[in-house]
Chain A
C-alpha cells in the first residue's frame, strides 16, 4: 500500500484567550491518499478549517499552540522552516477559501495575480507565464480569457472569482488541493458548477482534494471518503457509501436527516439537531455530543468514546452504542415515516 500523501497524526491546536485555553482541534488523525477526495464535514467551530489551515501553517496567531504531526510525503510540516514551507505552499499544497469576493487582491489584475504565483515557483521566460495564465483561465471555464486576463477581481461575479481562485490554486500543479467551504458563499446553482469543476480538474491535474464543508450534500457527489468532525474531534470517518448508507454516529444521522434526499421515501419533515456546540474551553465529561444526542445513555456521560472501527474496515466511529442498536435507532431518526410503518 502506497504511502499516504498527507498523514495527520494526533493533531492538537489550541488558542490562548482571555477566557482560557480554547481547544479548537483536540487530537485528530487521518490520511489523504494521492488522487483521493476527502470531504471534511462539520458545523462552525468543529475545527475543520483550523485543521487544514494548520496543514498549510497559515494561522498567524501568536496565541496558537500546536501538538502532533502533519506528515506530507513523509515530511513533518510542523517542524519545517518557514522558507521550506513557502516552497510547499502554492506549489505542492494549494488552498482556496470561502469568500471569493475578498480573497483576491483588488488592486491587481487577475492575470497579474496568477502570473505572480507562476513566477514565484517556476523559472519562466517572458510571456510564458501569461500564456499559461490564459490557459488556466480557459481550463476553469472563464470565457474570453484573452480579454478577461487584464480585468480586476471586482469585475467578476462571485462564481467567476471562485473559478479564478481555483485557477490560481492549480497553476503550479499541486498534489493536494484544500478547498475551504468553496461554495458556501455562492448561489446554489453556481455551487454545483464549481463542484463539478473541482471534480473535473482533479482528474485532469491528478491532485488530491480535501473539501471542507458544513453541508453533507456538497460532498455527496465528489468525495471518496468523508470525515465527520464535531467539537474538535473526528466522530466518524469512512468511505462515501459507508457514511451515507450505514452511518454509525448520531451526529452524522442528524446531518443526514437535515438534508432532503431523493433516494429515500419522503420524510415527514427534516430533523434538526437541537442545542449548541459545546464550549471548547471546558469540555463536558464523557462524550461531547451527549447533551444534544437523543440516543444518549449512562455510559455516554461517564466515558469518552474512542474512535474505533466497529462495523467494517476503514469505517470508524466514536459512539458507545452497539452496532445493532445503532441500526435500529438510526432509521427511526433519519426516516420517521419508515419507522411508523415498521
Chain B
C-alpha cells in the first residue's frame, strides 16, 4: 500500500461531498441582508425619507396648497372659512381680552395649523423649517465627518508630530463644554449685521452656513477620536503589513485598505450624528442664536410659539413633534445599522 501523499491524492471536494454549497458572502452583503430583515429600521428609514421629501416640497405646499408666503407678515390678512371672512389675527385674546390672537388650526388647506404672531401659516413654516433643520443637520454631520476623517487619517496614519498636534487640538475642543463653545461661536459670528468676511469669503448674517459650520466644528472631536483609534489599530493589522510588503504606497494603503474599513464606522455613526446635530441646531435656534430671520427652522418656530404657548399651542408643538419623529427615526436607523454590521448580535432565528 503506497504511502498516503496528500498532494498526489488531489482530493477535490465537490458540492455533493461537502453536502451543498457554502456560499461566501461579503460582510457588506451580510449586513445588508440583516438590515433588510429589520423591519423597524426600514420603517424608520422610510419615515425619514418621507420627512425629507415633504420638507423639501415646502415651496410646493406653500404655493399650491396653502396659498401663502410663509415668510411674509400677514397681520392684516383675512381668510375665508365656511363662506365667512375671518381675520387672521383677531382682537380680544388673552386674559384681559386686550391682546391679539392669531387664529388656531383650521384643519383646512389654508392655515392648517393656524397662524403665528405675524399671521403666517404655521404648517407651511414648519415644512420650510424642516428644510432648514435638515439641511443644517445633515450638512453639519457631513462636514464634521469629512473634517474628522481627514484629520484622523493624517494623525492615525502618519503619527508623530502630526498626531501629537492634531490630537491635542482635538482634546482642547473636546474639553471645552459643548454648549458653551457652540453658543460662544454662534453669538460672536452672528452679531455682525453686515455678515462675516473671512478673506475672500463673505457670508451674509442669515446664511445657513454659519450654524452649519459651527455645529459641525463642535462635533469634530467626537468623530475624530473613534476613527483615529480605528486607523491606529488597522495600521498594525496583518493585511496592512501584507500590503506594505507588496510595495503599496502610503496613499494607496489609505485608500484601499484603511478607508473602506473606516467608512463603515462613519456610516454607522452618521444617522446618530445627524440626530444629534438636529437637536443641537434646534436648541441654538430656540435660543435665537441658530438660524436667523427671515429663515425659519423647527427651533425658531418653537421660539415663536413660546409667547403663544397657552393660547395657540400648536405653533410650538408642531415643530417639536417633527423633531421628535425625525430624530427618533434616525436613532432607530442608527441602531439598526449598528446591529446589522455587528457580527455578534444574537438574533432569534425562525424555523
Contact = CB atoms under 8 A, between A and B. Distances in A.
Direct contact of A and B (CB under 8 A): yes
A62 B347 CA distance: 9
A250 to B, nearest CB: 9
Given A61-B346, A62-B346, A292-B11, A271 B4 contact: yes
B18 interface: yes
A282 B20 contact: yes
B260 to A, nearest CB: 24
Interface residues of A, number: 30
Interface string B325-351: 000000000000000000000111111
Query: Max chain B CB contacts within 10 Å: which of A268, A281, A284?
Result: A284
Nearest to A293: B11
Nearest to B348: A62
Contact of A332 (B4, B347, B349, B351): B4
A291 interface: yes
B6 interface: yes
A328 B2 CA distance: 11
A294 B350 CA distance: 39
Nearest to A332: B1
A169 B3 CA distance: 46
Contact of B348 (A63, A332, A333): A63
B19 interface: yes
A131 interface: no
Contact of A291 (B13, B20, B22, B349): B13
A339 B1 contact: yes
B9 interface: yes
B20 A17 contact: no
B18 A294 contact: no
Nearest to A62: B348
Contacts of B236: none
Contacts, number: 58
Which residue of A268, A271, A275 has the most chain B CB atoms within 10 A of its CB atom?
Answer: A275
B1 A284 contact: no
A75 interface: no
B3 A291 contact: no
Interface string A1-30: 000000000000000111000000000000
Contacts of B20: 279, 281-282
Nearest to A284: B19
A291 B11 contact: yes
A285 B348 CA distance: 29
B130 to A, nearest CB: 38
Contact of A283 (B2, B13, B19): B19
Q: At the interface, is chain B mostly helix, strand, loop or mixed?
A: loop
Range for the number of chain B residues in contact with chain A: 20 to 34
B3 A336 contact: yes
B82 interface: no
A89 interface: no
B22 A279 contact: yes
B17 interface: yes
B3 A332 contact: yes
B238 interface: no
Given A274-B11, A329-B1, A282 B348 contact: no
Interface string B186-227: 000000000000000000000000000000000000000000
A290 interface: yes
A153 B161 CA distance: 38
B6 to A, nearest CB: 4
B4 A294 contact: yes
Nearest to A290: B17
A141 interface: no
A247 to B, nearest CB: 15
A291 B18 contact: yes
A65 to B, nearest CB: 11
Contacts of A292: 11
Contacts of A339: 1, 3
Contact of B6 (A17, A61, A272, A291): A272
Interface in A27-58: none
B349 A284 contact: no
A277 to B, nearest CB: 10
A122 interface: no
Interface in A170-190: none
B293 to A, nearest CB: 54
Contacts of A291: 11, 13, 17-18
A278 interface: yes
A275 B346 contact: no
A82 interface: no
Interface string A261-297: 0000000100110111011011111000011101000
A146 to B, nearest CB: 41
B31 to A, nearest CB: 13
A200 B212 CA distance: 71
Contacts of A333: 4
A336 to B, nearest CB: 4
B206 to A, nearest CB: 52
Contacts of A281: 19-20
24 contacts: A16-B350, A16-B351, A18-B349, A61-B346, A272-B6, A274-B6, A275-B11, A276-B13, A278-B18, A279-B18, A279-B20, A282-B19, A282-B20, A284-B16, A284-B17, A284-B19, A285-B16, A290-B17, A291-B17, A328-B1, A329-B1, A336-B3, A339-B1, A340-B3
6 tightest A-B CB contacts, nearest first: A282-B19, A282-B20, A284-B19, A274-B6, A291-B17, A16-B349
Given A62-B348, A63-B348, A333-B4, 7 more contacts: A16-B350, A271-B6, A272-B6, A278-B18, A278-B19, A332-B3, A340-B3
